[in-house]
Chains A and B, each alone.
Chain A
């Protein structure tokens, strides 16, 4: 740490102040069967409870269920090419600014609290849960933890996810 004072932190001070803060406005979206099925097909999960209403009802759901991790993709709005950044993410999609070249997904953790079904209105709200600067074998990096809370139309929290990013 002897050079710490001379080395510029990868985390600008204004970014450090975001810990605990909301990173974007909350987004509410109605869960759509086709979108959920498109995701289920993409991950090769052809469970009948996602495709066949009768199978879903006999499994105890109110209507068609959706794959658990689909909930994080449902709020992603369709946007034109012009709004894609070079890294393929949307401009203005996030307030987190770091002095790094690339951010990789390190992992993700979920709490599934209540089932999510087609027709539910899900509000997702993302906060910066943690931000740590560390030094690894490949040099300094920043570990970011974004926590997203998913709430349904009855104000019930249905899921929480923590996305861990490694930025260097």
Chain B
């Protein structure tokens, strides 16, 4: 599946629930898969008593990876050319995350049709945890 310029327009959006009730185990699973063992993500005692946070929080890159799934589902496999994010708030165990991508421009560069998108991931309180933008190759 891929997008074509004739079938999309500026303002089109795509929304997916990325995760419901984020489990601590998924954060551990991500730590193992990524090799990022920073204890702020996994060690309750360390994070509350030493680092001074209310509890452990997810790796920003976990949210980025989950949000990347929304983008590839929307624009198609192998179509993403740029993807940039800022981590604007922490993601905690129990959070439900929903991401929305919006087409903000459809243009041509070096003979290639491209769509520019913004992407925002929010938690169950509708607070943004990730904001970003992306560019994808599309068909005519």
| A residues with CB within 8 A of B | 35, 38-39, 41-45, 47, 49, 59-61, 65, 67-69, 72-73, 76-78, 84, 86-89, 102, 104-113, 115, 164
Within 8 A of A (CB), among B32-68: 32-41, 51, 59-62, 64-66, 68
Question: Separation in Å of the A52 CB from the closest CB of chain B?
Answer: 12
Residues of chain A lying within 8 A (CB to CB) of residue B39: 86-88
Binary CB contact string for chain B from 67 to 107 against chain A (1 if under 8 A, 0 otherwise): 01100110001101111111100000000000000000000
Assembled-state Cα–Cα distance A163/B17 (Å): 26
Size band of the B side of the interface?
35 or more
Number of A-B contacts (CB under 8 A): 116
- Cβ of B3 under 8 Å from chain A: no
Q: Which residue from chain A places its CB closest to the CB of B70 in the assembled complex?
A: A45
Indicate the member of B19, B86, B132 with the most A CB atoms within 10 Å: B86
Q: B81–A39 contact, CB under 8 A?
A: no
Q: A44–B69 contact, CB under 8 A?
A: yes
Q: B65–A69 contact, CB under 8 A?
A: yes
**Of the candidates B19, B30, B34, B132, which one forms a contact with A76 in the assembled complex, judged by CB atoms under 8 Å apart?**
B34
Q: What 9 new A-B contacts, CB under 8 Å, besides A47-B77, A68-B72, A110-B84?
A: A41-B33, A47-B69, A59-B77, A68-B83, A88-B36, A88-B39, A105-B60, A106-B87, A110-B82
8 pairs, A vs B, C-beta closer than 8 Å: A39-B33, A42-B32, A42-B34, A44-B18, A47-B69, A76-B35, A86-B39, A88-B40
Q: B72–A47 contact, CB under 8 A?
A: yes
**Of the candidates B40, B62, B78, B82, which one forms a contact with A115 in the assembled complex, judged by CB atoms under 8 Å apart?**
B78
Assembled-state Cα–Cα distance A88/B31 (Å): 10
Question: Separation in Å of the B50 CB from the closest CB of chain A?
Answer: 9
**Of the candidates B30, B78, B83, which one forms a contact with A109 in the assembled complex, judged by CB atoms under 8 Å apart?**
B83
Contact A108 B38, CB 8 Å, known A47-B69, A60-B78, A65-B77: no
Q: A59–B61 contact, CB under 8 A?
A: no
Contact A88 B37, CB 8 Å, known A42-B32, A110-B84: yes
